[in-house]
Amino acid sequence: MSRTITVGIDDSPASRAAADWAASEARLRGLPLKIVHVQEPTPRRLAQTPLLDLEGYQRWAGRLTGDFAQDALVRHPGIEVVTEQLTGNVAEELCEAAGSAEMIVLGSRGLSGLRGFMVGSVSQGVVARAEHPVVLVRAEEQAAGAQRTDTGGPPSTETPSRPVVLGLDMEHPDDTLLGFAFDAAAFRKAALRVVHAWPDPATSHHRFPGGVGLHGTFETGQAALLSKVLRPWRRKFPDVEVVEASRCGSPQQVLVDSAGDACLVVVGRRIRTGAFTGHIGHVAHSALHHIAAPVAIVAHN
301 Cβ neighbours under 8 A, 6+ residues apart: 174, 176, 270, 271
Grade residue 98 by pLDDT with cuts at 50, 70 and 90.
confident
d(CA 132, CA 104): 8
Q: How confident is the prediction for the chain on average, in pLDDT?
A: 82
Helix (H, G, I), strand (E, B) or coil at 34: strand
pLDDT score of 118 more than 80: no
Average pLDDT over residues 102-113: 75
Opening angle at CA 290, ends 284 and 291, nearest 5:
85
- What percent of the chain clears pLDDT 90, i.e. is strictly above it? 48
pTM of the model: 0.84
Q: Kindly report, residue by residue over 282-296, the tens digit of the pLDDT.
A: 888 888 888 989 999
pLDDT confidence of residue 114: 44
More confident site: 49 or 8: 8
Instruction: Tell me the CA distances in angstroms from 168 to 15, 174, 230, one per residue in order.
Output: 29, 9, 10
Grade residue 200 by pLDDT with cuts at 50, 70 and 90.
confident
pLDDT score of 27 more than 90: yes
pLDDT score of 268 more than 90: yes
Average pLDDT over residues 45-52: 51
